[in-house]
Structure 1
Amino acid sequence: MEAKLRNLVNFLNDDKAFKVDPVLKMAIGHYQFEAIHPFRDGNGRTGRIFNINYLTNKGLLDYPILFLSRYILDNRDDYYSGLMGVSQRGDWNTWLKFMLKAVETTAILTYNKINDILNAKDAIRQVILDDTAITRPELLVNAILTQPFTRVKHLTDQRLYAENTAKKYLNQLIDLGVLQRRVIQGNHYYLNLELYRILGE
């Protein structure tokens, strides 16, 4: 097993000896990792994380945001059939086409989500400018779009606003329908409804 893993690492990292397009190399490397199956549990999750990390490492992604996991899990039967096709019949063609389709589909989905988030950001900023006297609206919008849930502490820790000001502004965004307050284990969280919707699709 150690020899096979060394072979995989060499294949992935030696671009002079193995001149293969990085996307194809990722697909081949994913198959090899799953075929080696080095762990008792978690090989599938590790293999899916490997995909995005490899593409980021090779400079095809600036950030690790191309989550192939969803496509793979949604097309599980084709995924396992592709893996078995290589193992049993040497059918690399079907496997590589599956992985290329996964990259294409996920790239389009990710691109659309990013545009939806940017449009939501512009819309929220405009609502704040039109209907409130919130200071530094750009910073507040960036803060509430970093993750779906925001807390007063997130704004005070970043030194964007004092605690009372942060509470006041977040409550104004609730009144505008931008945020929704949730109480979880006694703590107040503010859910960005549009970001939550976009990420949940």
Structure 2
Amino acid sequence: MQNLIDFLNDDLQFPLDPLLKMAIGHFQFEAIHPFRDGNGRTGRIFNIHYLTQKGVLDYPILFMSRYIVESKEDYYAGLSGITQRGNWKDWLLYMLKTVEVTANLTYDKINDIIAAKDAILDAIEKGGGFSRPELILNAIFTQPFTRVKHLTGRGFYAENTARKYLDRLCDMGILEKRMISGNAYYLNLELYRILSE
């Protein structure tokens, strides 16, 4: 474990590109992780954390789990290739491909969210009757579900105004109101669709 920590953190003694160190560190973590269950999730979290810590990413938004799960056979073949034959080349190429595919998917998703946000702002402004529309727009794009308290707790709007605006966005087909345990939640349909893809 100390060898892994030193390898990942000592860039003077081990001067490698952070993407390569992430791939090597991921393998090493998986090889020494003592538990049968949870290795994959923890190892995938390791990837994103390491790239963020090294400044390759500003925010931890590159979730490689989807690609790894979808190409599970290649993932395990790469791990066993190192263990059985010392085949680092295929493993490193696989992990770099994982980063590339995930980066492209994330880039497209971010652009889709920005486009949806712009279109909804346009609809809100054309619909009229919303004071400070950028505040409600930011609130409904912070996460897929919004509640009245998300708008009142930050002092954006009074409770009745917040409820009226959210209900109006439901009437416009932008949000969908769902009652859960007696509480109203407002689902941003377009954001939810984009994040679910």
Question: Who is 2:112 aligned against?
Answer: 116
- TM-score, L = length of structure 2: 0.98
Residue 132 of structure 1 and its aligned partner are, at CA, apart by 2.1
- Deviation per residue, 1:6-53 (Å, 9 max, x gap): 000000000000010000000000000000113353221110000000
Summarize the alignment of residues 157-196 of structure 1 with structure 2, pairs less than 5 Å apart.
157-196=153-192
Question: Who is 1:144 aligned against?
Answer: 140
Aligned residue among 15, 38, 48 for 1:52: 48
Alignment RMSD? 0.8
Distance 2:71 2:181 in 1: 37
Distance 1:123 1:193 in 2: 13
Distance 1:59 1:26 in 2: 12
Distance 2:77 2:187 in 1: 40
Summarize the alignment of residues 36-51 of structure 1 with structure 2, pairs less than 5 Å apart.
36-39=32-35, 41-51=37-47
Instruction: Give the letter for the 2:163 counterpart.
Output: K
Question: Who is 2:81 aligned against?
Answer: 85
- Deviation per residue, 1:151-199 (Å, 9 max, x gap): 0011111111110000000011011110000111221100000000000
Any idea what SS the aligned residue of 2:179 has?
strand
Any idea what SS the aligned residue of 2:62 has?
coil
- TM-score, L = length of structure 1: 0.96
Any idea what SS the aligned residue of 1:135 has?
coil
Instruction: Give the letter for the 1:101 counterpart.
Output: K
Question: Who is 1:29 aligned against?
Answer: 25
Structure 2: runs of 5 or more not aligned = none
Distance 1:81 1:186 in 2: 49
- Deviation per residue, 1:44-85 (Å, 9 max, x gap): 111000000000000011100000011101111110110000
Distance 1:157 1:84 in 2: 52
Question: Who is 2:98 aligned against?
Answer: 102
Aligned residue among 7, 10, 21 for 1:11: 7
Aligned residues with identical type, % of pairs: 68
Distance 1:117 1:158 in 2: 23
Instruction: Give the letter for the 1:38 counterpart.
Output: P
Aligned structure 1 segments of 4 or more residues deviating by more than 4 angstroms: none
